[in-house]
Amino acid sequence: MVLELDHLSKRYGGTEALRDLTLHVPAGSVYGLLGPNGSGKTTTLGIALGVLNPSGGTVRWFGQALSAGSKRRVGALLETPNFYPYLSARQNLQVAAEVKRADARRIDEVLETVGLLGRQHDAFQSFSLGMKQRLALASTLLGQPEVLVLDEPTNGLDPQGIAEVRTLVQRLAAEGKTIILASHLLDEIEKVCTHVAVLQRGQLRAAGPVRDILTSADRVVLRPGPATTPAALTQALARLPWVSDVQAEADGCLSAVLTSEQHPAALNEALFSQGIILAGLELRHRSLETQFLALTS
Amino acid sequence: MLFRAELRKLLPYRTVWILLVLYAVLLAGFVGMSGGAVINGKPMGSSLYAFPGVWSRLAYVASYFNLLLGILLIILITDEFQFRTFRQQVLDGLSRAELIQGKLGIAAGLAVYATLVVLGIGLFFGLTRGPEAAPGAVTAELGAVALYAVQALGYLSLAALLAFALRKSGLAILAFMLYGWVAEPLVRSQVPDSLDRFFPGKLLSALTPTPGQELLDTVTGPSGALLPTQALPVALAYVAFFWLLSYLLLRRDL
């Protein structure tokens, strides 16, 4: 495991920002932290990286307690790009390189990667939000970290910038880096992550490989044949213990969830043996969005 | 690494240069003009710049300009909170103790700068406007300048503590001025003289006593302040205490 968070909690006065959060990030994963604004994503990462003090719980990086050494193996962008406004992009990265003890010769390379080499001598305060965000990404890459922690990395970027960040994340993941990505944008998580944890009001709602979280929520949509009434179909489904959550859909269709061992073909067979003939049977992959809304509603 | 990072932040920062130049120009201007002051119908003239007394007079005058250095340090520290760069530097691998060390380094640097300015001004006016110095007189009372250096570091440490505690520049600068001018004198007026002299403001100002204090004492009675040499170890203890407290305050969330 790259990062192990165990039983983290955080209180701000009377507010409980984080409640008994346990999360393990495997090496090589692209781990998405998903949740609405204020759900505790930044608090979780702030505690993981030592800028916030937990009210309870433990943090371990690479199997050890958080230290300067472990932090230098991690590149982190938390919430906002944090730089000196009066310094240029290059000067800011020079400061960051000193702090990270990174090779200053990497500065050109990372500026090139995020497309800011041409603006390197301009003051940070003259940058647009998107450029600031890209400079922050450049800074995280300076020390050639094994792990990247990116909190809302596409904040303020235009569609092209978002696509570029996505490509960058995918490229870094392909290089074997572990990436922890916090976002409230489902699309972003769904497109790049291998794992996801869903947070709501400081509590973990679900965590695991994206595939598991999504397939557990796949639904089959059943269209009854002309000789079958929806009521008869509902009754037949009720007799099958591995079918749950039967819901009416548009056009007289029904949808239901199967346990993970069962396939649509088995459902078709079981219904046919009860004299029910279907006009259509379709497996509908649930989007992360629907799953997310289901988890957090 | 740590101090090189600090220099990379400081050198391109215009505010730093403005305040450093202001400190030197205002102090030199004040010293230059006071030669023309007239007391009891007699111009002060060259006697003011005579070695070795010029050092203690200069140290006393310079103590009023510590405010500028304190404001500069407050700006440099509160900037880091405002820009969230302290937070970023902890994310990037620095410990809170290292953040404190960086700023302690800056405070020491500012105290050295102030000392060099005082030495420069003293030498310039002493040699160009003072009466011819007796052998050895130029360096005779340089101890006064060393005491001023400790005093500057003391005020800077207090400024740093307020900046780390309040995290906002306006608030910290206001607190820094109100502490010295209002809060401490008010509290001191309520405590007995034996305690009064150990308050930070009074103790630090005891390092650079008013020129001719002995004469004043005979007229107004003793001021109750410690002798500079007595105040020195306590002042250094305050410096250590202020930075320790700053470190404890920085352990809060960033």
For residue A129, give the CATH number of its domain: 3.40.50.300
Please give the structure tokens belonging to residue A248: 């009416």
A124, closest residue in chain B (CA to CA):
B83
Q: Which of A52, A68, A82 sits opposite B84 (nearest CB)?
A: A82
Chain B residue numbers with beta carbons less than 8 Å from the beta carbon of A99 are 1, 5, 89, 92-94
* Residues 93-112 (B) with a CB less than 8 A from some CB of A: 93-95
Whether A52 and B253 lie within 8 Å, measured CB to CB: yes
Whether B83 and A94 lie within 8 Å, measured CB to CB: no
Task: Assess B90–A contact: CB distance below 8 Å, yes or no.
Answer: yes
Q: Given pLDDT bands bounded at 50, 70 and 90, which one contains residue A244?
A: confident
- CB contact set of A48 (below 8 Å; sequence gap of 6+): A3, A5, A59, A61, A66, A149
Q: Which of B8, B14, B90 sits opposite A98 (nearest CB)?
A: B8
The pLDDT of residue B132: 83
Tokens 């990286």, residue located: A49
Whether A98 and B5 lie within 8 Å, measured CB to CB: yes
A273 and A146 in a common domain = no
CB A244 within 8 A of CB A267: no
Q: Given pLDDT bands bounded at 50, 70 and 90, which one contains residue A217?
A: low
A199 and A176 in a common domain = yes
Task: Assess B16–A contact: CB distance below 8 Å, yes or no.
Answer: no
**Per-residue pLDDT reduced to its tens digit, B154-178:** 999 999 999 999 999 999 999 999 9
Identify the residue with better confidence: A55 or A190: A55
Question: What are the backbone angles phi and psi of residue B166, rounded to the nearest 5°?
Answer: -95, -30
CB B6 within 8 A of CB B106: yes
Question: Where does a domain end: A182, A209, A236?
Answer: A209
Task: Give the residue-averaged pLDDT of A92-113.
Answer: 95
How many angstroms separate the CA of residue B7 from the nearest CA in chain A? 9
A121 and A35 in a common domain = yes
Chain B residue numbers with beta carbons less than 8 Å from the beta carbon of A87 are 8-9, 12
- CB contact set of B134 (below 8 Å; sequence gap of 6+): B51
Please give the structure tokens belonging to residue B180: 């010295």
A184 and A277 in a common domain = no
On the question of pLDDT at B19 being above 70, the answer is yes
Identify the residue with better confidence: A211 or A217: A211
Task: Give the residue-averaged pLDDT of B88-97.
Answer: 95
On the question of pLDDT at B42 being above 90, the answer is no
Residue A262, domain extent: 216-296
B91, closest residue in chain A (CA to CA):
A49
Report strand pairing: A74-77 vs A56-61: unpaired
Choosing among B92, B96, B249, B251, which should be mutated to test the A contact, i.e. which has the most A CBs within 10 A? Answer: B92
Identify the residue with better confidence: B44 or A106: A106
What is the percent of chain A where pLDDT is above 70? 97
How many angstroms separate the CA of residue B113 from the nearest CA in chain A? 23
Q: Given pLDDT bands bounded at 50, 70 and 90, which one contains residue A13?
A: confident
**Per-residue pLDDT reduced to its tens digit, A258-294:** 887 788 889 999 999 988 899 999 887 766 667 777 7
Task: Give the residue-averaged pLDDT of A44-58.
Answer: 96
Task: Assess B227–A contact: CB distance below 8 Å, yes or no.
Answer: no
Q: Given pLDDT bands bounded at 50, 70 and 90, which one contains residue A155?
A: confident
**Per-residue pLDDT reduced to its tens digit, A177-210:** 999 999 887 777 888 899 999 999 999 988 988 8
A259 and A126 in a common domain = no
A282: β partners: A221
Whether A51 and B254 lie within 8 Å, measured CB to CB: yes
Among the ranges given (A178-187, B92-101, B132-141), the one the predictor scored with the smallest mean pLDDT: B132-141
What DSSP element (H or E) covers A291?
helix A288-296
The pLDDT of residue A158: 87
Task: Assess B46–A contact: CB distance below 8 Å, yes or no.
Answer: no
Whether A87 and B9 lie within 8 Å, measured CB to CB: yes
The pLDDT of residue A19: 94
Q: Which of A53, A101, A143 sits opposite B1 (nearest CB)?
A: A101
Q: Given pLDDT bands bounded at 50, 70 and 90, which one contains residue B73?
A: very high
A70 and A205 in a common domain = yes
CB A168 within 8 A of CB A116: no
Whether B8 and A76 lie within 8 Å, measured CB to CB: no
In this structure, what CATH number is given to the domain that contains residue A285?
3.30.70.100
**Per-residue pLDDT reduced to its tens digit, B203-245:** 999 999 888 766 666 666 666 788 888 999 999 999 999 999 9
A239 and A197 in a common domain = no
A251 and A197 in a common domain = no
On the question of pLDDT at B43 being above 80, the answer is no
A178 and A92 in a common domain = yes
A vs B, Cβ pairs < 8 A, gives: 75
What is the percent of chain B where pLDDT is above 90? 72
Q: Given pLDDT bands bounded at 50, 70 and 90, which one contains residue A216?
A: low
Conformational region of residue A62, where left means phi above 0, alpha means psi within -120 to 50, and beta covers everything else: left
What does R_g of chain A's alpha carbons equal in angstroms?
Answer: 24
Whether A50 and B90 lie within 8 Å, measured CB to CB: yes
A73 and A191 in a common domain = yes
On the question of pLDDT at A25 being above 90, the answer is yes
Chain B residue numbers with beta carbons less than 8 Å from the beta carbon of A139 are 92
Q: Which of A76, A85, A96 sits opposite B83 (nearest CB)?
A: A85
DSSP A194-210: SEEEEEETTEEEEEEEH
Question: Where does a domain end: A165, A189, A209?
Answer: A209
The pLDDT of residue B40: 67
- CB B73: neighbour CB atoms within 10 A? 27
What DSSP element (H or E) covers B6?
helix B2-10
Choosing among B14, B79, B87, B88, which should be mutated to test the A contact, i.e. which has the most A CBs within 10 A? Answer: B88
Task: Assess B12–A contact: CB distance below 8 Å, yes or no.
Answer: yes
Task: Give the residue-averaged pLDDT of B78-103.
Answer: 96
What is the percent of chain A where pLDDT is above 90? 57
Q: Average model confidence (pLDDT) for chain B?
A: 91
- Please state the ipTM of this predicted complex: 0.90
A221: β partners: A255, A282
On the question of pLDDT at A169 being above 70, the answer is yes
A135 and A88 in a common domain = yes
Chain A residue numbers with beta carbons less than 8 Å from the beta carbon of B9 are 84, 87, 95
Chain A residue numbers with beta carbons less than 8 Å from the beta carbon of B254 are 51-52
CB B27 within 8 A of CB B62: yes
What is the percent of chain B where pLDDT is above 70? 92
A267 and A164 in a common domain = no
Question: Where does a domain end: A209, A226, A256?
Answer: A209
Report strand pairing: A178-183 vs A30-34: parallel
Task: Assess B82–A contact: CB distance below 8 Å, yes or no.
Answer: no
Chain B residue numbers with beta carbons less than 8 Å from the beta carbon of A91 are 8, 12
Identify the residue with better confidence: A191 or B181: B181
Number of structural domains chain A divides into: 2
* Residues 154-213 (B) with a CB less than 8 A from some CB of A: none
Whether B8 and A94 lie within 8 Å, measured CB to CB: yes
Q: Which amino acid, one-letter code, is at A9?
A: S
Cα–Cα distance measured from residue B51 to residue B132, given in angstroms and rounded to the nearest whole number: 9
Instruction: Using an 8 Å CB-CB cutoff, list residues of chain A that contact chain B.
Output: 46, 49-53, 68, 71-72, 76, 78, 80, 82-87, 91, 94-96, 98-101, 139, 143
